Structure 1
Amino acid sequence: MEAALHVTTDSRRVQVASLFVALRGRQTDGHVWIPDAVRRGAVGVVGEDPTWVEWFRTQAPSIPYWVVRAARPAAARLTRVLYGPALDRLVVMAVTGTKGKTTTVHWVQDALRRLGVPCARVGTLGMDPDVGLWTGLTTPEAPDLGEYAHHLVRQGISHMAIEASSIGLDQYRIDGLRVTVAAFTNLGHDHLDYHGDMEAYYRAKLRLFDEDYWGLRHVVLHTDDPFGRAILRDRAFRRATVVTVGTCGDPTTACEHTIHGVVRSSGLWGARGVLWGPGLEKPLEWSIRLSGSYNISNFLVAWAMAASVLPADRWPDLVEAMAAFSGAPGRMERLEFPDGRVVVIDYAHTPESLELVLQHLRPQVPGRLIVLFGCGGERDVTKRPRMGAVAARYADFVILTDDNPRREDPQRIVADIEAGLRAVPGAPPWSVIHDRRTAVHTGLAMLRPGDCLLLAGKGHEDYQIYGTTKVSYSDRQTVLEWMIDHVETR
């Protein structure tokens, strides 16, 4: 066998001297791409299916085929062997949680860069810098992350902030890395179509906090969330520095959090307050441009993550750097009309995230709060009526529409949501408009000065998925195009 210089789980990325790892997925089996990988020059193949041994004996006798019990851990180990020196030179800061990962990772990267620390980012919105390796997964496959780390080190980038999704953790995607900082934001109702129940979902997140396995040096836990406190209970940290974060009433009183933020004022403009904790001679004044209590929590987690890799004398500079952050695309993104009409675009697609957004918007909106959303097809069906009930409790009018129905009947999805709306006494009126562009146009036409239209669920996404086909579509672009046609300029 020739020496392997590259590892991949995608046959299309096989090159000369590549080792191909065949992964079994939920919808496709990577073993079917073995012939393609061999044709493209793979020098070896790793898989789980022993029936392919005969194919290699007759069709590719010079190419070794290794049968393993679990291909994903094998891919991570091979990544570690191939890219180990580069991986050890990179400071990896990983955050997991149902909500807030994207904002937190963007915030950490933005702040460190402003302070002169070269920092990359990996997550839902891609890789930055982009070297052509992102495949659309929040947490890429282990070989892709290893190759990316190799590129970063060659470019002189020393730090990387990454979103560690529960599925990515369960599938060993970051297992090739050494994680320096592990952080947790919160846990809510999501991905149960994959994990089965909340206990399994939590256990997948808990993998990131195995101190010995990852070589953790710093742990950041949002302990306003009960699952953050559960991690403290379920993991014994002997060497890693553990920082808990949350909000408290006053910096001079006892608080259960290591780092606690005191909120002095907040609104749609953002929030301001003071930060207090060990290593600080006095409370630090902070202000952020992002609104909502959840973004205050994201700020605290991001601050603690970035502070853990900076000397204490730079912490005041870190607060100033974080004040300049304007938010990640599609996260509480505001588009305002001259007459006071407001559109908010947010990725909220779980009952908890939708409720947090609505709890924040409701007291800030002097007029009507119109909520437009749908639920993804072939995903957790139990959250649909719950999201309907959440909308019913806060909205003045609800528009139900499509949000990546995939191969499921969109009418069935909406009917599940409507069951939750009907269960709430005094529920507001609602309409069903399956075509999302038409639905958004309808919501925009309803707005009067003082009203707010929340477009929930898609956030940054620039597509709709019907069947297995992606169709170009963006909530933000749809709103901007409508504004051009309907807003008078002087």
Structure 2
Amino acid sequence: MTFDELISLILDLKKNSGCKSINLNSNFVKKNDIYLSLSEDPKKNLEYLSIARSKGAKLIISSDRACKNRHSSIKYFPNLKNKLSEISNIFFDEPSKNLKVYGITGTNGKSSVSFFLHQILKESNLKAALLSSIKNKKKDVFFSELTTPDTFFLNQFFSNLCNENYKAAILEISSHGIHQKRIQGLDFNFGCFTNISRDHLDYHKSMKEYSRVKESFFLDNVFETCLINIDSSLGKKIKKISSNFYSISSKEKKADFFFDKNSVLHHDRKIYNLKNYSNSNFMQLNFAMAISLAIISKVKINLNKIKNILNPLGRFEKIEVFKGKYCVIDYAHSPAALETILNEINLSHNGDVISIFGCGGDRDKGKRKKMGEIAEKFSNELIITNDNPRWEDPLKIKTDIMKGIKKLSQTHFILDRKEAIEKGLNLLKFAKKDSVLLIAGKGHEDFQEIEGKKYSFSDRKIIHKSEDVNR
């Protein structure tokens, strides 16, 4: 079967057989859908094909030759994985071309910049949708389990937005999404690079490769314009890709947008004072990037209309749990993110800092010692606990973290995360005024992943349910 023949078959099913969707996951297949099987494991492939057929798949396309004559509804097509974006764009009629699409990438800040930008666009009366991995009941915010889902999910999402008369869409672009070509063929109008620091090296293997993947987002797509944070060598390199790209910096006054130490954004002889929009300098910088991105995409900014800007859940989420004593919940799970938030807490509070954190299992092991060093440097007491251990032994994760910690007398190890948080609250209760308990690593997440299962768990709920909260 040629590719043209495959496309003809797919479009015929769309037109004449009520086929409305294409899925890569057999569990999501509905009656008359098309299922694409990509598994390279023959046994799993047969299992997935059986599930798809039982759910009423009209057509199954597999890249496994062994499935070629198994059933009349199953078609064999080699190198199927390399044709996904073409199939997706043709099936859904390239809906991204009918929207203003923003793509936000970088190690840290993607969720915050996207969340802030969405609020700005809405206040400017632009009907905009945000696709987010943070569950949110806000109108026009849509949930995806993956930061950047697959091409069929995205095109289906865009198609639905067009049908509902949306004018813009905001996506967070992960390095995995770029590398696995989930966004290939989409039409991006605006891009943003927030920053770069160590993360996902279990996948990318080196900072050089990780940086190359991030840079490729700006090389491989054609934008109207982009906003690039040039406070890193990679940012400076990306800025040089196009004369249409704008720079933002908190270090270089000559940047197109300059965010100074007083939380004032400077651009084109205009100033935007962002001091009152957050008590976190990092969140203020993210807000500055959102404002700058809106400006270069020719959205009129009126700060008076966005006085009540909201932070995304689990991003520098500050709660007064005892009088004059606070808990901060944050998603920080990389060395740079942990250092940023701990540094901010120390600068803005005069009491003790108690830090609770762990490291994810089956992920970048090289960052664990570094995170231990950072946590010890900026904290008075530490509690090491489980994050998402996945299939890895939590004691091995703890040992790796402890390699960076010298003051063992000030460090507690409590495997159960709930007990660790309760211990942290007890330490905070008897700490001096203006002390802070930082719970880092999971932020908005409402689960804990252990040995292949996701268990209901939320740092936020434990804090809010504590009988001592607000006493």
- TM-score scaled to structure 1, two decimals? 0.86
Q: Equivalent residue of 1:370, what SS?
A: strand
Inter-CA distance 445–92: structure 2 relative to 1 (3 Å threshold): same
Mind listing any 5+ residue stretches in structure 2 that lack a counterpart? 1-8
User: How is 1:42-121 mapped onto 2 (pairs within 5 angstroms)?
Assistant: 42-53=57-68, 57=69, 59-68=70-79, 71=81, 73-121=82-130
Q: CA deviation at 1:335?
A: 0.7
For the aligned residues, what is the CA RMSD? Answer: 2.5
CA distance in 2, matches of 1:377, 1:409: 8
Q: CA deviation at 1:127?
A: 7.9
Q: CA deviation at 1:92?
A: 0.7
Q: CA deviation at 1:12?
A: 2.3
2:271 equivalent in structure 1: 283
Q: CA deviation at 1:283?
A: 2.9
User: How is 1:158-173 mapped onto 2 (pairs within 5 angstroms)?
Assistant: 158-173=167-182
Give the residue type in structure 2 aligned to 1:221. Answer: I
Q: CA deviation at 1:131?
A: 9.8
1:306 aligned to which of 278, 294, 313? 294
1:243 aligned to which of 243, 246, 256? 246
2:145 aligned to which of 122, 136, 141? 136
Q: Equivalent residue of 1:107, what SS?
A: helix
Inter-CA distance 369–77: structure 2 relative to 1 (3 Å threshold): same
Give the residue type in structure 2 aligned to 1:276. Answer: H
1:228 equivalent in structure 2: 235
CA distance in 2, matches of 1:128, 1:66: 41
1:218 equivalent in structure 2: 225
Residue 132 of structure 2 contacts residue 144 of structure 2 at CA under 8 Å; is this kept in 1?
no
1:257 is the counterpart of 2:241: no
Aligned length: 452
Q: CA deviation at 1:295?
A: 2.0
CA distance in 2, matches of 1:290, 1:31: 53
Residue 18 of structure 1 contacts residue 41 of structure 1 at CA under 8 Å; is this kept in 2?
yes
Residue 322 of structure 2 contacts residue 470 of structure 2 at CA under 8 Å; is this kept in 1?
no
- Name the % identity: 27
Residue 175 of structure 2 contacts residue 213 of structure 2 at CA under 8 Å; is this kept in 1?
yes
Residue 329 of structure 1 contacts residue 460 of structure 1 at CA under 8 Å; is this kept in 2?
yes
CA distance in 2, matches of 1:355, 1:455: 13
User: How is 1:367-382 mapped onto 2 (pairs within 5 angstroms)?
Assistant: 367-382=351-366
Residue 64 of structure 2 contacts residue 76 of structure 2 at CA under 8 Å; is this kept in 1?
no
CA distance in 2, matches of 1:263, 1:132: 32
Q: CA deviation at 1:476?
A: 1.0
Inter-CA distance 25–402: structure 2 relative to 1 (3 Å threshold): farther
Structure 1 segments of 4+ aligned residues over 6 angstroms from their partners: 127-133
1:175 is the counterpart of 2:184: yes
Give the residue type in structure 1 aligned to 2:197. Answer: G
1:461 is the counterpart of 2:445: yes
CA distance in 2, matches of 1:349, 1:288: 27
Q: CA deviation at 1:321?
A: 4.5
1:440 equivalent in structure 2: 421
Q: Equivalent residue of 2:369, what SS?
A: helix
CA distance in 2, matches of 1:297, 1:427: 35
Inter-CA distance 349–231: structure 2 relative to 1 (3 Å threshold): same
Residue 126 of structure 1 contacts residue 138 of structure 1 at CA under 8 Å; is this kept in 2?
no
Mind listing any 5+ residue stretches in structure 1 that lack a counterpart? 250-254, 265-271
Q: CA deviation at 1:65?
A: 2.4
Residue 7 of structure 1 contacts residue 78 of structure 1 at CA under 8 Å; is this kept in 2?
no
1:337 equivalent in structure 2: 321
Q: Equivalent residue of 2:77, what SS?
A: strand
1:7 aligned to which of 22, 27, 51? 22
Give the residue type in structure 1 aligned to 2:413. Answer: V
